[in-house]
Structure 1
Amino acid sequence: MRIASTKKIHAGTILAQTIYNENGVVLIKKGMRLTDKLLRRLLNNGITYIYIEDGTTPDIEVDQTIPDKLRLEATNMIKDTFIELKNAGLGQRSYILDKRSKELTNVVEQILSNIQENEKSLSLLADIFVSDNYVFQHSLNVTIYSLAIGVELNYSTKQLTEIGVGAMLHDIGKMFIDPAILQKPDKLSDEEFEIIKGHTQVGYDYLRKHQYMPTVISHCAYQHHERLDGSGYPRGIQGEEIHTYAKVIGIADVFDAVTSSRVYRDAMLPHEGLEILYAGAVNLFDKEMIEAFKRSVVAYPNGLTIELSDGRIGVVIRQNINLCDRPVVRILEESGKPVANPYEVNLERTVNVTVKDVLVD
């Protein structure tokens, strides 16, 4: 199988990875031949990239980052909790979080255990779930990425549990924002953007009222948009004034935001998301944390077609642990011509060759 841009796929292409909705119901099953109608359905649901069957890559496998059962359990936990909180409103203190704190912690511990037991780097590109609300899937993805950074930085179990719950609830304030503004497909006005920015204050004020939530959890909601140079919000604090957990969640938040499809733009590929983070290293984000994140995620997922610096073209077939940008590539074309007998190049060992470009058309 290989990765292809949904916009570039023609009718008749065979889907190689089942697509589910947020309740675990199969929307399009692996092995189906895609019609124009199904392709429009994928695009309308914000699916920018999918895995398709390909004669040159039938043996390529995609590692599942989080088991489907656990992902669905976590997503539904977040969804049910957030909706209950929204329905209860901000007017009075709700005991929903107090009641659900143990369940949230349990889900975080399961995700953490899965990450710690799996030595392979994370690639959520293969976990294709269609959700009615971006906030739910985003909250789960940010939790996964934040825990991966924390594991790489050798945080204690207590710290990892706290940062996991903090990441899961970091956007809780968005549930109290007008959906018409939150999901607006056009450019936000200055007034609307200020309303969106207010989710950090709303989330903080809400979470700090709950006795079973450590204070640091509310600061995750409050500070995850703060930046090292003071250019963030809501307070414009900088450097060591920002809580460590918020720095980690801020990195995971940006990466998932740019690598997820939104109503106003297509998703970027993982290597593009990493480039954005590196552009902000030192000034915006903690460099050590970004390095830890780089060791934790896959920049060039299995099945991605790439061009190497020497002009050869191939498909990523395997990853090298802790070397997200140096995968194993099956060469399919060189000097502009197809290779009669495809062969492998391990970029971990071939240090004079780098990835020049990604080809998904």
Structure 2
Amino acid sequence: MRLIPIHALRPGMVLGKRIYNSDGLVLLAEGVELTTGLIRRLGTLELGYVYIEDAVTEDIVVPELLTEETRLQAIRSIRTSFKNLESQASLKGSFLHLGKTFSGMMESIMDEISGHDECMVLLTDMNTNDYNLYRHSLNVCLYSTVLGVSYGYNREELRVLGLGALLHDIGKTRISQKLLQHPGRLSEDEFREIQKHTEIGFKILKDEPNIPLLSAHCALSHHERLDGSGYPRALKGPDIHEYAKWIAITDSYDAMTTQRVYKPALLPHEAVEVMYAGSGTLYEQQFLAMFRDRVAIYPPGITVKLHTGESGVVSKIHAHVPHRPVVRVLTDGDGTPLSAPYELDLSETLAIMIAGIGQSTIDQT
């Protein structure tokens, strides 16, 4: 399958991956043949890209960090718990369900991620139709846990980091959803109101059974930045716990690569480039370098243009060099489709570079 922008869809194309709504329910199943009406409908969902099947890329598989069952169960559990918090009148008392619900969830997530031979940060939200707090929380947890595995944390350390990532934005359950989804520029008062979610999240989590205090501190500190420009306490590098530094990176990345009401999603390589502008000032340089080395900046199925003028589709990613994938070359330097596409491993052919992201002719025969 291949990943293409919504505007490139044509009647007769076949959907390669399911499209979900904010509750994890399927809006369109894989294998559906797209009609003019369905394409028009997809255009209203604010999707940036979708996966479609075609003859020359039918064997390209897009890996998943979690099984579909685990992902849907996690999103539904997060949604239920967060909705309960939204409806609760005050923060007084205990939230006993939080520790039980999320500790069990983290065990399942760690088991599945640890089961991958070559675990990478894989884009998760290309086939969902909007941003929401539940998916964002799960994505940040997945990305942070992958990085924690690569960094060498033991299982208990992964559990604490993962819970901190999973619950980092729990304070937003007490912030007006209208304000959180505000499409324009926020006033100073509105921004200060949103900033309160870090301290609110800490208050919710700090005394909860089965929620480590350090996980609660991740909710408090994930918007702190090395140069002291973050909030709520304007901490500087040495005073920010390393777990919060990881979550600062994964939180920013997921926000950038997810479609929002007020801005389009960036592709992975674009988001990494933006984040690197803050290396050493906003984000820990060592952690950001490891993140770059673990993120699939060219997702399987995406069309790339080579500096030779040829173009093709990423067919495989190397975990050790994700920026040098295997490309299935489909057109020559003049843009003419090849009668015999071939695989080009950029990790072995170092003289050839990816010049950009593009779209080659799709063969529907």
TM-score, normalized by length of structure 1? 0.93
Question: Contact 1:319–1:327 (CA<8 Å) still a contact in 2?
Answer: yes
Report matched runs for 1:240-279 at 5 Å: 240-279=238-277
Provide Cα deviations, 1:234-265, integer angstroms capped at 9, x if missing partner: 12111111111110111000000000111111
Q: CA deviation at 1:338?
A: 2.4
Match of residue 48 from structure 2: 48
Contact 1:3 1:360 (8 Å CA) reproduced: no
| 1:220 paired residue number | 218
> Is 1:343 matched up with 2:358?
no
Distance of 2:116 and 2:188 partners within structure 1: 44
SS at match of 1:260: coil
SS at structure 2 position matched to 1:325: coil
- On the 8 A contact 2:272/2:292 being kept in 1, the answer is yes
Distance 1:123 1:214 in 2: 27
In the alignment, structure 1 residue 123 sits paired with structure 2 residue 122: yes
Structure 2 portions without partners, runs of 5+: 361-365
Aligned residues: 358
What pairs up with 1:197-212 in 2 under 5 angstroms? 197-212=195-210
Deviations along 1:150-185, one digit per CA (max 9) or x if unpaired, are 111101211100011111110011111111111112
Shift of 1:90: 2.7
State whether residues 227 and 237 of structure 2, in contact with CA within 8 Å, keep that contact through their aligned partners in structure 1.
yes
Cα deviation per residue 1:280-300 (whole Å; 9 max; x = unaligned)?
211111122122222332111
Which residue matches 2:363? none
**CA deviation vs aligned residue, 1:204-262 (integer Å, no higher than 9, x gap):** 22222434422212211111011111111112111111111110111000000000111
Q: Distance between the aligned counterparts of 1:205 and 1:41, measured in 2?
A: 42
293 and 56 in structure 1: CA distance in 2 versus 1, 3 angstrom threshold:
same
Contact 2:3 2:51 (8 Å CA) reproduced: yes
Which of 139, 142, 156 aligns to 1:141? It is 139
* Matching of residues 2-13 of structure 1 within 5 Å: 2-13=2-13
1:313–1:250 distance in 2 versus 1, CA, 3 Å: same
Q: Determine if contact 2:163/2:211 at 8 Å carries over to the other structure.
A: no
* Contact 1:305 1:313 (C-alpha < 8 Å) held by counterparts: yes
Structure-2 separation of matches of 1:62 and 1:31: 15
1:17 aligns to 2:17 (yes or no): yes
Q: Deviations over 1:113-164 (max 9, x none)?
A: 2111112323234773456x61000000000000011111101211100011
| Structure 1 contact 22–76 (Cα < 8 Å) conserved | no
Match for residue 67 of structure 2? 67
Describe the SS at the equivalent of 2:47: coil
Indicate whether 1:92 and 2:98 are aligned: no
How many angstroms apart in 2 are the aligned matches of 1:87 and 1:232?
29
Alpha-carbon contact 1:90-1:206 (below 8 Å) kept: no
The unaligned stretches of length 5 or more in structure 1 are: none
Please give the alpha-carbon distance, in whole angstroms, between the structure 1 residues aligned to 2:217 and 2:153.
18
> Using the alignment, how far apart are the partners of 1:110 and 1:4 within structure 2?
32
Structure 1 CA distance for aligned equivalents of residues 267 and 359 of structure 2: 10
CA distance in 1, matches of 2:105, 2:126: 18
Give yes or no for contact 1:173–1:203 (8 Å, CA) kept in 2.
yes
One-letter amino acid of the structure 1 residue matched with residue 337 of structure 2: P
Tell me by how many angstroms 1:321 deviates: 1.9
Question: Which stretch has the larger CA shift, 117-126 or 333-342?
Answer: 117-126
| Aligned 1:311-322 pairs, distance under 5 A | 311-322=309-320
The amino acid across from 2:276 in the alignment is Y
Corresponding residue for residue 353 of structure 1: 352
Distance in 1 of aligned mates of 2:289 and 2:215: 24
AA in 2 matched with 1:8: A
CA displacement 1:81-120 (0-9 Å, x = unmatched): 1111121133422x32x23313211211211121111123
Out of 15-24 and 320-329, give the one that drifted further: 15-24
* CA deviation after TM superposition for structure 1 residue 323, in Å: 1.2
* Deviation, structure 1 residue 44: 3.3
Percentage identity across paired residues of the two chains? 37
Structure 2: how far apart are the matches of 1:359 and 1:224?
35
Name which of structure 1's ranges 288-297 and 254-263 shifts more when overlaid on structure 2.
288-297
Within 5 Å, give how 1:252-331 maps onto structure 2.
Answer: 252-331=250-329
